[in-house]
Chains A and B, each alone.
Chain A
Amino acid sequence: MRFGVVIFPGTWSDCDFHYVIGEVLRQPVKYIWHRDTDLRELDCMILPGGFSYGDYLRAGAIAGRSPVVEALPDFVARGGFVLGSCNGFQILCEAGMLPGALLRNECLQYRCQSTSLFLENAETPFTRGLRPGQVLKMPISHGEGKYYADPDTLRALKARNQIVFRYCTESGDVTKEANPNGSLENIGGIVNEAGTVLGLMPHPERAAETAMGGTDGLLLFHSLIGSLVEDGSALKR
């Protein structure tokens, strides 16, 4: 599976994703500059964490209008996958590729900590190898990760099973105490209607090696690579 890791001015998880995909997962991976729009050779685009354009204006607002992001809808329509983590999730919401918005954390402070995630939807290409209700451990690192959507959007998200992760306790209870940023209904990650675009605030690339404290982040990649193999290892394009 061929991965592209996007670099915006101010991105900083680019090297981490590149390392995990290339060195840990041994998959082909290359960097994609934010002005590039030729994504033909790629199967999955990664929008990494960071402070694209300093997060000036709003987190992800400027990057959400960059050439590479404007090329993503076509890429997805041709069967490509997109994973946006942290700033990548914010960018996907700003670009309108995922519904809702990410607001300033309820505590009004930056939070870097471990979180537990309750897997709500095990039917997306990113979670197919997992079982519903499974608890994944991944760290967060953000100041603006409070997910919000208006009531209609939230209803639609639920109806279409687009909520993938909710923050929970280690034993899997979705409680207020387990919510690190005040997200609506503890939402930590969602997909588009087709399930091919995943946005999540946690950092799967920081939970990809035992030495880093856990490997639950790899499960998303294994599911994704597995999905592609099941589909005949070729995208429809």
Chain B
Amino acid sequence: MTAADPKVTLDLALAHGLTAEEYDRIIQLLGREPTYTELGLFSALWSEHCAYKHSKVFLRLLPTKAPHVLQGPGENAGIVDLGDGWALVLKMESHNHPSFIEPFQGAATGVGGILRDIFTMGARPIATLDSLRFGDPEDPKTRYLIGGVVSGISWYGNCFGVPNVGGEVAFAPEYQGNPLVNVMCVGLVRRDRIFRARAEGVGNPVFYVGAKTGRDGIHGATMASAVFEEGAEERRPTVQVGDPFTEKMLLEACLEAMAGGAVVGIQDMGAAGLACCSSEMPSRAGTGMEVELSRVPRRETGMTPYEIMLSESQERMLLVVAQGREEEVRTIFAKWELDAVEIGRVTGDGLLRVRMDGQLVAEVAVRALTEEAPVYEKPTARPGWLAALHAFDPLSLPEPADYEAALLRLLAAPTIASKQWVYRQYDQQVGINTLVLPGSDAGVLRIKGTSKAIAVTTDSNARHVFLDPYQGAALAVAEAARNLACSGARPLAVTDCLNFGSPERPEILWQFAEAIRGISEACRALEIPVVSGNVSFYNETEGEAILPTPVIGMAGLLEDAGWRTTQWFKSAGDRIALIGPDAVSLGGSEYLAILDRRLAGRPAPLDLRVERDVQAACRAAIEAGLVSSAHDAAEGGLAVALAEACISGPEAVGAEVELPSLGRHDLTLFGEGPSRIVVSVPPRAQRHFESLMGECQVPWRFIGTVGDERLTLKVGGSVLVSLSLDQIAHAWRTGFDRYVG
């Protein structure tokens, strides 16, 4: 204990975000009052962000096992086998709170954190994706946030040298006070060169490597575990500051040290910094650790043990090194101009022992900080507001007078319109693996030295989750898998980022529990394990929660990179087919949100068996070389999917389509339903395609032909839409830019 430390009291514990019961439990575990440093450790490690205390009981439902899973949840990232000796590492994480307070650095350090999660496993990051949610696009604050977030992601990822190959940007008023910034990263590692965050080997030295420690980000994990009140911007000092150049050096130095075999275990000093690493690493290995803080490289003077343990300064790692190979590690890090300092060693007594200048400032069982963190099963309650929302019938609204105008408005809606403004600020190609660039259903990357490729995507339709969390979350899984199927890939694994309001409110926790049930059900039906993820609660400002937003990140495999397929029509004369059922609804649709500014109704039901069969049929057609394009019909329904297929490619091409009437024309054109894919089939493949669809036993039909300079949509013989390619392209290309330009 140092003389300057404040006296530890219940009030101080409460001010640290702990509850009175939790404080009692700490005293019980220690058998005494905690020191100030120990209180800091508990408050960080027992925060929602680190301990998952409100979510753990629900997360156990998720299917996490499959023969190809090499690492499931519980490590820095999940890993799946790709064959040929390669494995894919994947993880997604949120940086919502920091990005609202300081959009540029908040988003940038979100990228930095997820990159470290990937390379601590021994992998080289090969791609990132970003899933973003903002409030009202008309609000000037939104413009400021988008600009800051996108340039932060761009700055960090571009400088580091990892391509950004996809993602999504969506808008809803519920994100006004709490935007979402979720970043996914995938990396490649040799199957036999995987590293884990375990402090194995009693007596092994513990090395601090990377950037120096400052006072930035102290209690970032705690901030991420509380709702925003007025004046949240005053928390700007809790946002960390990124340095992508140092991160790049750290990547190269870590991979070099790992390749040589000197590294036993490694963990990123991310949320809760050194406190987290020095307890989680020994906890996983059943060991203990002692550290001497006076050896920690610092960039500020007078830092207390409390501050050093809780700092969230970026670009730092904790390494457990094989005894006797210390010099090797020092030499490699010196080459990359980084600090590498031995600050402690692995012990066998299960304790975390922290000293400052030889004086003991904390001595806690690592299990008390990790395994024995509280786990809550709080009450859930179905929100009362749902009944009235479900009772709303979208068909009680009048039909639009002008279908062409309605389609143009939808194409220009910022959630649907082209996101080129965003992704042209991201390096999409460094590493020369990107076979399909952003702007199609999924990003596709080759794996050099093999015939294979991987496809990656992120998905979530939060409006559907809000109206029905169980089905909406299942739909997010189904849609992500469908996007991969459209690209020619078989899904391998999910990484999820679960963004919700405060779990202390029963209605919010119900949304969460239902969403987990939906993800689990869909993942089981489609046979896709969840291998990693992140929970972000407390996404509320002044009592207003965001829409429940479980973002599904998914990676899939193409055995033959040549199968890769893009969403846009290629050649005049190709027949257009719709694979999938006719069940659609305007409930919770983009149409309702844009034309009536309303979020209500019931989304169309999802049949997971049909979903699986439709995806299998699409993949089979792609693998047999029978389709020129494949595009999932999602937000905006079939009309928007067809328009996008006409104009999103390098060369626009028209289409003439006759749609089967599903009742009212607005339902036929803009109704949204799961399991629907638009493909184009060259004339030579038409017969083969017909017989394949028959074999697959899926609903399907030809609906039109590619060609000409217009998009023409007919229902029951009457022309509802006849627009020139220029008209639809203009709406779609400028719809997003007008809010950000």
A56 in complex: contacting residue of B151, B161, B245, B425, CB < 8 Å: B245
Complex: chain B residue closest to A50, CB-CB: B161
Chain A residues whose C-beta falls within 8 Å of the C-beta of B561 in the assembled complex: 211
Report whether B245 and A16 are in contact in the complex, using a CB–CB cutoff of 8 Å.
no
A110 in complex: contacting residue of B154, B337, B446, CB < 8 Å: B154
Chain A residues whose C-beta falls within 8 Å of the C-beta of B245 in the assembled complex: 9-10, 51, 53-56
A141 in complex: contacting residue of B158, B337, B446, CB < 8 Å: B158
Report whether A12 and B429 are in contact in the complex, using a CB–CB cutoff of 8 Å.
no
Report whether A212 and B429 are in contact in the complex, using a CB–CB cutoff of 8 Å.
yes
Known A9-B337, A10-B245; contact A16-B159, beta-carbon cutoff 8 A: no
A143 at the interface (CB under 8 A from B): yes
Most buried by B among A13, A113, A143, A211: A211
Report whether A112 and B159 are in contact in the complex, using a CB–CB cutoff of 8 Å.
no
Report whether B429 and A141 are in contact in the complex, using a CB–CB cutoff of 8 Å.
yes
Report whether A205 and B424 are in contact in the complex, using a CB–CB cutoff of 8 Å.
no
Report whether B159 and A54 are in contact in the complex, using a CB–CB cutoff of 8 Å.
yes
A90 to B622 CA separation, bound complex (whole angstroms): 44
Report whether B430 and A12 are in contact in the complex, using a CB–CB cutoff of 8 Å.
yes
Q: How many residues of B contact A (CB 8 A)?
A: 30
Chain B residues whose C-beta falls within 8 Å of the C-beta of A206 in the assembled complex: 429, 432
Chain B residues whose C-beta falls within 8 Å of the C-beta of A54 in the assembled complex: 159, 243-246
Complex: chain A residue closest to B432, CB-CB: A16
A15 to B188 CA separation, bound complex (whole angstroms): 15
Chain B residues whose C-beta falls within 8 Å of the C-beta of A12 in the assembled complex: 160-161, 248, 430
- What secondary structure prevails in chain A residues at the interface with B? mixed
A109 at the interface (CB under 8 A from B): yes
User: A32 to nearest B CB, angstroms?
Assistant: 14
B120 at the interface (CB under 8 A from A): no
B427 at the interface (CB under 8 A from A): yes
A46 to B673 CA separation, bound complex (whole angstroms): 52
A121-144, CB under 8 A of B: which get 1 and which 0?
000000000000000000101010
A46-86, CB under 8 A of B: which get 1 and which 0?
00011101111000000000000000000000000000000
A53 to B336 CA separation, bound complex (whole angstroms): 11
B81-123, CB under 8 A of A: which get 1 and which 0?
0000000000000000000000000000000000000000000
A56 to B248 CA separation, bound complex (whole angstroms): 14
Chain B residues whose C-beta falls within 8 Å of the C-beta of A139 in the assembled complex: 429
Chain A residues whose C-beta falls within 8 Å of the C-beta of B427 in the assembled complex: 110, 112, 141
B431 at the interface (CB under 8 A from A): yes
A112 in complex: contacting residue of B155, B244, B425, B446, CB < 8 Å: B425
B541-566, CB under 8 A of A: which get 1 and which 0?
00000000000000000000100000
User: B234 to nearest A CB, angstroms?
Assistant: 29
B687 at the interface (CB under 8 A from A): no
Report whether A205 and B244 are in contact in the complex, using a CB–CB cutoff of 8 Å.
no
Report whether B432 and A113 are in contact in the complex, using a CB–CB cutoff of 8 Å.
no
Complex: chain B residue closest to A205, CB-CB: B432
Complex: chain A residue closest to B446, CB-CB: A211
Known A20-B432, A141-B430, A205-B432; contact A112-B161, beta-carbon cutoff 8 A: no
User: A181 to nearest B CB, angstroms?
Assistant: 12
B428 at the interface (CB under 8 A from A): yes
* Residues 87-109 of A at the B interface (beta carbon under 8 Å): 109
Chain A residues whose C-beta falls within 8 Å of the C-beta of B643 in the assembled complex: none
Chain B residues whose C-beta falls within 8 Å of the C-beta of A53 in the assembled complex: 245
B306 at the interface (CB under 8 A from A): no
A30 at the interface (CB under 8 A from B): no
User: B389 to nearest A CB, angstroms?
Assistant: 40
Chain A residues whose C-beta falls within 8 Å of the C-beta of B435 in the assembled complex: 211-212
Report whether A16 and B158 are in contact in the complex, using a CB–CB cutoff of 8 Å.
no
B426 at the interface (CB under 8 A from A): yes
Known A50-B161, A211-B435; contact A112-B429, beta-carbon cutoff 8 A: yes
User: A220 to nearest B CB, angstroms?
Assistant: 16
Report whether B431 and A16 are in contact in the complex, using a CB–CB cutoff of 8 Å.
yes
Extra 5 A-B pairs, beta carbons < 8 Å, given A13-B430, A19-B448, A112-B429: A54-B246, A55-B245, A109-B151, A110-B158, A110-B427
